[in-house]
Amino acid sequence: MKPNYKIVLLPFAFASLFITSCGEEQSSLDQLLAKQATIEGEIKAKRAELKTLEEEIIKIDTTSKDDINYPRVSVVDLKTQAFNHFFEIQGSLEAEKNVMVVPEAGGLIKTLPVKEGQYISKGQTIASFDSQIIASNIKELEEQLELAKYMYEKQQSLMDQGVGTEINFKQAEGQYKSLQKTLSTLKTQKGKFVLKAPFSGYVEKVFPVVGEMAGPSSPIIQLIDLSNLKATANISEVYLKKLNGNSLVNVFFPALDIELKDLPVKRIGKFVNPVNRTVMMEVNIPKAEGNMVPNLMTVMNVRDYRNEKAIVVPSSVILKDANQESYVYVLKGDRVAQTKIKVGQSYKGKSEVLSGLTDGDQVIDKGARKLVDGDIVTVVK
């Protein structure tokens, strides 16, 4: 019987195959390790080369590494200063003396020696009226008065001689004095037929013409005095508690591009309009400038709050946290510190800080919104 060689040789075949496989895996691992070592060497070389390159760039580039890596910000140097708060209202310009001049006695207009736009002085004749009838009465009365005076003097002479009677003397005296009073009254009435300017000013409007009839209710001219002007406005009653005799107003005239600053409040009304809940406020205009005329529109900025020694910051630097509390970034050396503050009033981009900041602090202005507490920054102007 022949031996079974297949059974004897099979284990040797498997062993040979296993040895061959292990040899191939070892060879593949060695190749990978070698490749890894090569790449790591290349990386080290590149890092060294990069470091050398950075050193050369630093030598050539004038920009420092800090400027490149750290946030660039600007700062505001705080100092104690006055802070003012204003509220704005619209008003108009008025003249203290702006009247329609009317005569006391009517009649036919004989003369009208004024023109529109003319400046006239106090007491200057504006118009005269026909007074022929009263002039005739005055002439007649003067003749009667002359006779009454003669009779009075005659009776006085007789009384001095002791031959006159007292009753005749009293009658002559009474007649004489009565005519004197009547003549004085007529002359006063005649004066009313000449209309004179009650004050100096400009003739804005002439209403009648020579030859027209005019009466006590008919205006002859509109006369305006520009030497006493005032700005008036209706302010809400809510501002009453903030206004007093020390309140100042900046009055701006948009049409003329003129602003008058720090004018005192002349008067605050004592009556609240029940329709719109406002109170009248008046401000004296010291002197008319440019073409200031009545009814010109004004914009009035009324100061209702002032702090002589306040810490003031731009409103734009104030930020809010998750709890809606206000804070700013303050420069401490080369780092920033998040600092909580209490904000007072704000006006035109400026805010009053009641607590949290002191005189001399440096608050981050531009670039603040990108910072976090403790950041190192570079300050630029």
Whether the CB-CB separation of 278 and 237 falls below 8 Å is answered with yes
Whether the CB-CB separation of 200 and 120 falls below 8 Å is answered with yes
pLDDT of residue 287: 84
Structure tokens at 167: 């009753």
* 350-355 and 319-320 strand pairing: unpaired
Mean pLDDT on 313-339: 92
* 258-268 and 72-73 strand pairing: unpaired
Whether the CB-CB separation of 100 and 208 falls below 8 Å is answered with no
pLDDT of residue 138: 75
Count helices and strands (H / E) in the chain. 4, 21
Buried b (16+ CB within 10 A) or exposed e, 256-284: eeeebeebebeebeeeeeeeeebbbbbbb
Confidence grade of residue 339 (pLDDT, cut at 50, 70, 90): very high
Q: Which helix (H) or strand (E) holds 330?
A: strand 326-332
pLDDT digits (tens, 9 = 90+) for 114-128: 999 999 999 999 998
pLDDT digits (tens, 9 = 90+) for 14-35: 444 444 555 566 678 788 888 8
Give the length of the chain: 381
Q: Which helix (H) or strand (E) holds 17?
A: helix 5-60
pLDDT of residue 230: 95
pLDDT digits (tens, 9 = 90+) for 340-364: 999 999 999 999 999 999 999 999 9
Maximum alpha-carbon separation in the chain: 217
* Type of residue numbered 262: D
Can you tell me the distance from the alpha carbon of 280 to that of 3, in angstroms, rounded to the nearest whole number? 135
Structure tokens at 14: 């498997």
Ranges assigned E (strand) in 153-291: 194-196, 201-206, 213-214, 221-236, 248-253, 258-268, 278-285
Whether the CB-CB separation of 64 and 288 falls below 8 Å is answered with no
pLDDT digits (tens, 9 = 90+) for 131-141: 676 777 778 88
pLDDT digits (tens, 9 = 90+) for 47-93: 568 757 766 776 676 555 444 568 889 999 999 999 999 999 999 99
Whether the CB-CB separation of 83 and 352 falls below 8 Å is answered with yes
